[in-house]
Amino acid sequence: MTTKIMGILNVTPDSFSDGGEHATVEAALSHAQAMLDEGADIIDVGGESTRPGADRVEQAEEAARVLPVVRELAARGVAVSIDTMSARTAESAVDAGAAMINDVSGGLADEGMASVAAATDVPFIAMHWRGHSTDMNSLAVYSSVRADVRHELLARVDALLAAGVSSRRIILDPGLGFAKNAGHNWELVGHLDELITLGFPLLVGASRKRFLADVLPEGATVRDRDPATAAVSSLAAAAGAWGVRVHDVRGTRTALAVHEAVRGARG
């Protein structure tokens, strides 16, 4: 299995590493094409920042940001994922051509999301989540982060199945950086195989997240985290992850190509 690369397209003014850079439709489409040229398999379009401390965005504003971009990319034949916690935005995006829903709350933020996922019958990415960005840091308390994340993801699976979502459509995400400290994140990265054994495709999103600064020199910028992101992506591929979600597609494609070459050499 070749691990898929999901390129991050934030059409927001306040995302932590690229806020405002792709806030117009033209800039967003240009960046999406650049990521496709570099090897992205999926473009993940989001209109609400989920960085720690970020405020919520009104649904109408979120939809106004993402729908023109989703519609144009889908018309070009691009595989588009809609990154949203809003059931209404997700439904509108699928109507506009999105082929996948990526909900960082796993359906917890909007009680209507599971029904939308079931009705649209597109792949649904359910991330491990404990609360909104304004509260996530206080929620990083675990008896065992590996066991608790497994248990809470399976609880989301049960809820999605009960709502009518097909098991074949569910993809899980451990939620690196969400209600987790650096130690929690590294432990999850080191044991991704335990999440693979849950039996669902796994998406890993470490891109440019704060815990990666642990392995960088003091004063490194957010973008200096890209090589560390590529290393985590390679580890995720080695563990059997279905996909990785990244800002730096070119570096990730190179890292995954090394992984594939080594795997092929092993036979």
Q: Which residues are known to be catalytic?
A: 209, 245
- Token digits of residue 96: 């506009």
- Token digits of residue 9: 């397209």
CB 257, CB 264: distance < 8 Å: no
CB 204, CB 164: distance < 8 Å: no
The kind and range of the H/E element at 158 are helix 145-162
CB 35, CB 9: distance < 8 Å: yes
Per DSSP, the residues of 71-120 read HHHHHTT--EEEE-S-HHHHHHHHHTT--EEEETTTT-S-TTHHHHHHHH
Q: How far apart are the two ends of the chain, measured CA to CA in Å?
A: 14
CB atoms closer than 10 angstroms to residue 133: 18
Distance of CA 48 to the CA centre of its chain: 13
Dihedral sign computed on CA atoms, order 225, 203, 23, 37: positive
CB atoms closer than 10 angstroms to residue 139: 14
